[in-house]
Structure 1
Amino acid sequence: MELSRRANAQLPVPVPIVKTAPPRGKRMLVRMPAWFWLDESQWDARSARAQVGSVWAEATASAFELVIDPGDGSAPFTCDAPGTPYAEGADEGDACTHTFKRSGTYTVRVTANWGADWEGSDGNGGTLPTMGRSTSFPIRVVEARSELIANP
C-alpha cells in the first residue's frame, strides 16, 4: 500500500491549460456563449511506478470531468469531456459553454478531476483518491450596443 501512495504522488497530473472563445484577453459579450476547452492531450491517462527491489506498484490516472465556476454568481457546471474547440458556425452540442448575463470582470476557476487506480506486482490493486487540478483566470464581459439607422 505504501508503494501505491508513492506511485500516486509521482503521477504527472497537469494543471489544466484552458482555451476559450473568445480568446482570453479579448472581451466576451453578454448573452453570447463563452466556450471552454482543453487540448485533447491534456485528457490523456498518466501513469507512474514506484519500486523497491522487485516489488512495485503502478498508479494510472484518467481525467473524467471539468468543473467550471464562471465566477459570476451562477452555479459551477460540469463537463464530462475536455470540451469542444470552438469553430466558426459550430453548434454548442457537447461544448462546455457558459452565457454571462451581466457585464463585468469575473474570475473563472476550472478544475480537472482525475480518478486513479493502482496495481501491484503481487496482483493487488485498488482505487486511489480523486485528484483535482485547478487554474483561475479573469474574463471581461461587456455589452454590445447597436444603433438602428434609417435607410437613406
Structure 2
Amino acid sequence: MAGAMVALATIVPAAAEDDYGRATGTAKHNDNATGTIGAQVKVRYSGSTHSGHGSGALTSADSNWTPPGCWYAPTYTSAEFRKVRQSIYFAVVHDPDGDDFRGEISDENQKYAKDEYHDGDKGRYWAAVQNPDAPYEEQWACDKPPFWVPQGKKPPVKEAVSPEILAGLAYQQIQVPGTRVSLAPAKASKVNLPTWVWLDKGRFKPVSVTASLSVPGFSISATTTATPSGLTIEAGTDDADLLPSSGTCPANSDGSIGREYTAGSADETPPCGVTYLRSSGDGTFDLRATATWKISWKGSDGTGGDLPDGQYGRNQAVKVREVQAVNR
C-alpha cells in the first residue's frame, strides 16, 4: 500500500504515518529536544547533558540490549482518527495506482465506522511508533493497526508506552563529557617508568535526562541517570603493563578517577596508570580511556531500576621515550 502512504503525506503533512495510520517518530540529540510520535503526541526530553568538545552518546556495555525500537502510544482522539482514516481513503481514491488496495481501504473504513471510532467516548486510539535510530526490523516489530483504549484502561499490548520504555529513550539522549585524561609525565612517557593517569574531580558528575509524554487523561515520564563508576585504560600496545593489572580504575568518592601526580610521588605506584615497556619510536601509541557509567531510572509511577552500563571513550596519542628518568 505504498501509494496510499505517499498520497497521505501530501494530504496530512502534520503527521508522518504509514498505511495503517501509524505514527512514525524522530528524535533530536540535544537538550530539550522533542521526538514526534504522532499528530497530537510528543515525547519531550529535558535534562543536563554535555555538548562540549569531545562529548558523545553512551554505548551500552550489554550487546544484547538496545533502546526500544517501537512502541504503542495514545495518538488520536476518536474525531482525529476518523479524519486520518478519511484522509487515507480520499488519498487512495485519487491515487491512479491505488486500484490494488482501494477496496481494502474502503473495507477498513467501513469496519471502523461501524464497529469503532467511539464518538463521544473518553479514551484514545493507540498507534504504533517507530524509533528512527533503531534497526529497521525493530522499528517495524509493532505491526498492530491502531486500536481503541478507554481512558484509564491498560492497553492490551506489552509494547504500550511506559516509564520503562521512556527510560530507554532517555538513555539514548544522554551525552557525557569526553575522557581525555591527564598524564604525568605530561610531554612524554618513559620506558619502564609508570605513567600516572587521572581524571579531575568535578568533571565527571551524574547526568540525567527526563523523557515525558502527556495528553489529556494520560501522562507519564521517566528520568534516566548516568553515574560515572570507573575508567578502563588500554595502552595502545601489548608491550605495556596496566595499573591496576585489570586496566579498570574505579571512581573515587569525590568523583575523581585515579590520583593526580604531585612532586614527591615518584617512588609511589599510581592507583591508575600504565608502564610502557618499549619506545614508540618516531610515532606514538594510542592510549584509550573509556569511562563506564552506571545507569538507573525512575518512573513517574514509582517504578524504576537499572539499565545496562553505558560506555564512552576516546583515544589520545602518547609518545614514549627510551630515557631512564625519574618523575620528581
TM-score by length of 2: 0.41
2:166 alignment counterpart: 3
CA 1:102–1:121: 2 relative to 1, 3 Å: same
- Three-state SS of the structure 2 residue aligned to 1:48 is strand
Whether the 8 Å CA contact 2:294–2:310 is kept in 1: the answer is: yes
**Aligned pairs (5 A) from 1:3-152:** 3-23=166-186, 26-53=187-214, 54-73=219-238, 74=240, 77-81=247-251, 82-90=257-265, 92=268, 95-104=271-280, 105-144=284-323
CA distance in 2 between counterparts of 1:117 and 1:87 reads 35
Range 131-140 or range 5-14, more displaced: 5-14
CA distance in 1 between counterparts of 2:295 and 2:270 reads 25
CA distance in 2 between counterparts of 1:94 and 1:44 reads 23
CA distance in 1 between counterparts of 2:178 and 2:304 reads 26
1:79 Cα offset (Å): 0.5
CA distance in 1 between counterparts of 2:304 and 2:248 reads 29
Identity %: 36
1:45 partner letter: P
1:122 Cα offset (Å): 0.4
CA 1:122–1:92: 2 relative to 1, 3 Å: farther
Per-residue CA deviations over 1:29-51 (Å, capped at 9, x if unaligned) read 11111011112123311111111
The 4+ residue runs of structure 1 with deviation greater than 3 A are: 91-94
1:3 Cα offset (Å): 0.9
CA distance in 2 between counterparts of 1:63 and 1:10 reads 16
CA distance in 2 between counterparts of 1:144 and 1:108 reads 19
1:149 alignment counterpart: none
Equivalent pairs, count: 144
CA distance in 2 between counterparts of 1:77 and 1:142 reads 22
CA distance in 2 between counterparts of 1:93 and 1:55 reads 50
- Three-state SS of the structure 2 residue aligned to 1:64 is strand
More helix by proportion, 1 or 2? 2
CA 1:89–1:16: 2 relative to 1, 3 Å: same
CA distance in 2 between counterparts of 1:93 and 1:32 reads 10
2:192 partner letter: R
Whether the 8 Å CA contact 1:16–1:42 is kept in 2: the answer is: no
CA distance in 1 between counterparts of 2:324 and 2:309 reads 45
CA 1:93–1:45: 2 relative to 1, 3 Å: farther
1:12 Cα offset (Å): 2.9
Unpaired segments ≥5 residues, structure 1: 147-152
Q: Whose RCO is larger (CA < 8 A, sep 6+)?
A: 1
- Three-state SS of the structure 2 residue aligned to 1:7 is helix
TM-score by length of 1: 0.85
1:92 Cα offset (Å): 3.9
Per-residue CA deviations over 1:28-74 (Å, capped at 9, x if unaligned) read 11111101111212331111111112411001111111110011204
**Greater Cα radius of gyration, structure 1 or 2:** 2
